[in-house]
């Protein structure tokens, strides 16, 4: 469940539970205060939701089972508050949950980190640029269409404005 859809009482109880029972370690892990070392296999598992490699953490608060994304749990333990929007992994690795790798951002800013495939367009030979019937070249940047007379100029502006290709 998204933290924004939880009631304020649920959010406060989860935050209090995490802050009371878990401690942050510099390599990006949190561990239970009663244990000597983190136990990664028991309550932390990868998600199959949307085929994303994020980690899920499950725990019980007052007899009710809850789950939370691991990077959200790290944020809550370190910052002591819920994020205002979404959490972004700065280096693009969803398994790197160090606090210095996490930042609050809007959904729009977080979507800029999506890597697009490096498949080139069959007609233009340039990824992300297509040829229109009127002879102009088109690219979509942040949901808006832009037109150019040169396909390489369109590709340059797409990358310059934040599109990332792998």
pLDDT at 43 over 70: no
The residues facing 87 across adjacent strands are: 104
Assign 99 a pLDDT band (cuts: 50, 70, 90).
very high
Q: What pLDDT, on a 0 to 100 scale, did the predictor assign at position 1?
A: 45
27 and 64 fall within a common domain: yes
Domain holding 135: CATH number? 3.30.160
User: Which DSSP helix (H) or strand (E) runs through 115?
Assistant: strand 115-116
pLDDT value, residue 41:
42
On whether both 46 and 84 belong to a single domain, the answer is yes
pLDDT band at 114 (very low <50, low <70, confident <90, very high): low
The total of other beta-carbon atoms located within 10 Å of residue 151's CB is: 21
Q: What is the CATH number of the domain that holds 48?
A: 3.90.75.20
For residues 71 and 106, state if they share a domain: yes
Select from 95, 111, 127 the last residue of a domain. 111
Predicted pLDDT of residue 127: 79
Judgement on whether residues 102 and 132 belong to the same structural domain of the protein: no
Q: Are residues 119 and 78 in the same domain?
A: no
The count of structural domains within the chain is 2
Do both 100 and 54 map to the same domain? yes
| Structural domain that includes position 138 | 115-165
The pTM is what?
A: 0.64
């Amino acid at each position: 469940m998204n933290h924004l859809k939880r009631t304020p009482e649920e959010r406060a109880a989860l935050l209090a539970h995490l802050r009371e029972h878990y401690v942050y370690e510099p390599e990006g892990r949190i561990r239970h205060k009663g244990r000597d070392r983190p136990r990664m296999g028991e309550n932390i598992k990868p998600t199959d939701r949307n085929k994303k490699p994020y980690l899920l953490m499950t725990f019980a608060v007052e007899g009710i089972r809850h789950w939370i994304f691991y990077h959200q749990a790290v944020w809550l333990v370190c910052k002591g508050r819920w994020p205002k929007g979404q959490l972004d992994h700065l280096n693009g690795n969803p398994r790197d949950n160090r606090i210095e790798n996490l930042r609050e951002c809007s959904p729009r800013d977080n979507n800029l980190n999506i890597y697009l495939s490096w498949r080139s367009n069959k007609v233009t030979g340039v990824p992300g640029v297509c040829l229109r019937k009127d002879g102009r070249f088109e690219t979509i940047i942040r949901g808006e269409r832009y037109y150019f007379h040169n396909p390489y100029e369109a590709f340059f502006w797409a990358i310059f404005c934040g599109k990332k290709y792998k």
